[in-house]
Structure 1
Amino acid sequence: MVLRVRVSLPDRPGALGQVARAFGVLGADILQVTVLEREAGRAMDDFTVSWPGGFSPEELRERLSVVPGVRVDGAWPTREVPGSSPDYDLIGHVVTDADRAFVTLVDAVPDLVGAQWAVAVDSGTGAVVHGSWQAPGVEDMPDLTPLRPAAFSEGSLHLLSLPVRPAGLHVVVARTEGPPFHQVELDKVQRVVEIVALLVSTSSVA
């Protein structure tokens, strides 16, 4: 299986190597590393790893936490394909078929940030206009549509909500496993949503 593992570690020479060695000892192959932040002498990285399945994600988390100075904030399954460019693929599909732009966006956006599902919500009524195939059967989400792009949690459900004002929609992205969304993930989805909205508006003018 492929997992994403969020690790907080000391921002000093050799610390990343220690974490990499710990993954190797556990039989995990590192496929990709994404730096989320570096501040106050610590770094936070997301590791995408190929995991043979000898341990559960929780066991992997516990075993990595024994490395001095390392804290594991989450380990969860992901459908990411390291080395691929799902954001570019998404934009390419939108350019090809602008009429289905927001359907395409909702179906594709969870894989951009290691999330499980997404929906497009009508900003006026709160009704779900379209949901990705993993989305639960939710009829409306009126409390998940803040006026500005936001990352927040409802219990163990972690959410991104981004208004798409020209279309009268909110795009809501959900992570049901793993840690809350990081600001870097919110910024990434916001940029993609803005590009899709711009492409749609340009297409309608043309």
Structure 2
Amino acid sequence: MPDRNGRPAGAGVVTMVLRVRVSLPDRPGVLGQVARAFGVLGADIHQVTVLERQAGRAVDDFTLSWPAGLAAGELRDRLSVVPGVRVEGAWPTREVPGSSPDYDLLGQVATDGARAFRTLVDAAPGLVSAEWALAVDSRTGDVVHGSWQAPDIAEMPDLTPLRPSAFSEGALHLLSLPVAAAGLHLVVARTDGPAFHQVELDRAARLVEIVSLLAAPPAGRTVA
């Protein structure tokens, strides 16, 4: 007997985890309509994060399991039938539903403070649904450590302002976060999704502060 999506009951379905950013009217019932639209597509919602609510609209990030093979364009088309709803981005994420990557990061740092900043760089992309991260020497601009998907860059251009910031260079969206305790900047990037939201910037900046407090004093400017 087929399921609600026309597939044979019990058939294995390959899924991927997506982050979907949706702008919608901030009024009762609209969120339920969006959730139903996801359900019709066969998507399972794992988490909803409210990024902002102002001027009668809300911006929400949905983390969901999405049937592999269905294009993001189809998602946009289906959600567009809900009046006033706009899909601002849909992109793959390495988030594991039900996990707590923030706590995992802080636990690792507390256990091995000497490797705190290397651990931070490796974990940063998964914390904000990004693709890669680099630690850049804030004095010279030299790249001292990159996450496993980071491009092979020996030196970054001047993308390191003195305070936490989010900005875009064409399709490349960046977070730049000073790590004063180590003389570094953490640069986090994504290209598949939308620009980083202020909520994502604030979350990343707070994690950098906590990691810096937990870290063992670094030797010079070298990532341990």
1:5-154 residue pairs with structure 2 within 5 A?
A: 5-154=20-169
Q: Which AA in structure 2 matches 1:43? A: A
Q: Give the secondary-structure state (helix, strand or coil) at the position aligned to 2:168.
A: strand
Unaligned runs of 5+ in 2: 1-15, 219-224
> CA-to-partner distance for each residue in 1:83-118, whole Å, 9 max, x for gaps?
211011001101111111011000001111110110
Letter in 1 for 2:49: T
Residue type of the partner of 1:124?
A: R
Structure 2 partner of 1:162 = 177
Give the whole-Å Cα distance in 1 for the aligned partners of 2:157 and 2:53: 35
Q: Secondary structure at the match of 1:73?
A: strand
Determine the C-alpha separation between the residues in 1 that align with 2:174 and 2:217: 30
Which aligned pairs between 1:169-184 and structure 2 lie closer than 5 A?
169-184=184-199
Deviation at residue 63 of structure 1 after TM alignment? 2.4
CA distance in 2, matches of 1:204, 1:157: 33
TM-aligned CA deviation for residue 155 of structure 1? 0.4
Tell me, in whole angstroms, the C-alpha distance in 2 between the residues paired with 1:99 and 1:169: 15
Are 2:114 and 2:217, in contact at CA under 8 Å, matched by a contact in 1? no
Q: Report the Cα distance in structure 2 between the residues aligned to 1:198 and 1:112, rounded to whole angstroms.
A: 19
Q: How far apart in 1 are the matches of 2:83 and 2:69?
A: 23
Q: Which runs of 4+ in 1 moved over 3 A?
A: none
Larger Rg: 2
Identity %: 78
Contact 1:61 1:74 survives alignment (8 Å) = no
1:60-97: per-residue Cα shift (whole Å, max 9, x none)? 22322232110000000001012211011001101111
Structure 1 counterpart of 2:176, which letter? Answer: S
- More helix, by proportion: 1
Gaps of 5+ in 1: none
| Cα pair 1:161 1:172 within 8 Å, conserved | yes
After TM superposition, the score normalised by the length of structure 1 is 0.95
2-structure distance, mates of 1:191, 1:99: 20
Deviations 1:33-84, CA, capped at 9 Å, x for gaps: 0000001000000001101124112322232223211000000000101221
SS at match of 1:12: coil
TM-score if structure 2 supplies the norm length? 0.88
CA distance in 2, matches of 1:58, 1:158: 21
